Amino acid sequence: MKKPGKASLIIAIGNLLAFGGGYARAAGEAAFHPVFAQGEWWRLLTCGYLHLGAFHLLANLPPLLIAGSKAEDYLGRSRFLFLYHMGTAITAFLFCLSFQNASMVGASLGIYDVLGCCVALHRWNPSLESLRFSKAQKNYLIGLYGPWQPAGCSYDRCTSDRIYHRNFVWLCLAEP
């Protein structure tokens, strides 16, 4: 397996360091009221470094390293970091507007933007073989988000997240 890019590794380490439990999650999660009513816009970035538990954190790290390394190699460190963090902020912003009674945490916000970028660039220019996912990587990414349900949130919310995650990954990784 190829060595992960430095920026991908730094983000993964940041996720590990930010894993702090309930207080850290409550202080940094993205939710409608704190973001819009209280003007705590920084939550649109911090939510991407916080997780619901150890399994949630560990489930996010491999896709970050797989997709992040590919994107970082092609885009460069600065563009990759911009894509990851802006993707996290924009997705959290849209989530807060769409689900005003829920909160958002997890690195998957930025991971899906990076994953989508890799797939779009490869489909736009198939000669970019470095952005192609192997069959094993595709199977891992598709299988990862199907059967598990994170703890600590309502059934409807988790079910919709699971369906969203699985369908997005399947759509991105399906052969053109």
Asked if residue 84 is part of any domain, the answer here is yes
Question: What is the block-wise mean pLDDT of the chain (176 residues), using blocks of 10 residues?
Answer: 72 74 68 87 88 79 85 90 91 85 83 82 80 78 56 44 56 60
Asked if residue 167 is part of any domain, the answer here is yes
Asked if residue 1 is part of any domain, the answer here is no
Contact call for residues 22 and 53 (beta carbons, < 8 A): no
Tokens of 163: 């369906």
Question: SS3 breakdown of the chain: % helix, strand, coil, rounded to 5?
Answer: 70, 0, 25
Closest CA to 101 of 49, 154, 149: 154
Contact call for residues 8 and 34 (beta carbons, < 8 A): no
Q: What is the CATH number of the domain that holds 106?
A: 1.20.1540.10
Q: How many domains does the chain have?
A: 1
pTM for this structure?
A: 0.77
Contact call for residues 11 and 84 (beta carbons, < 8 A): yes
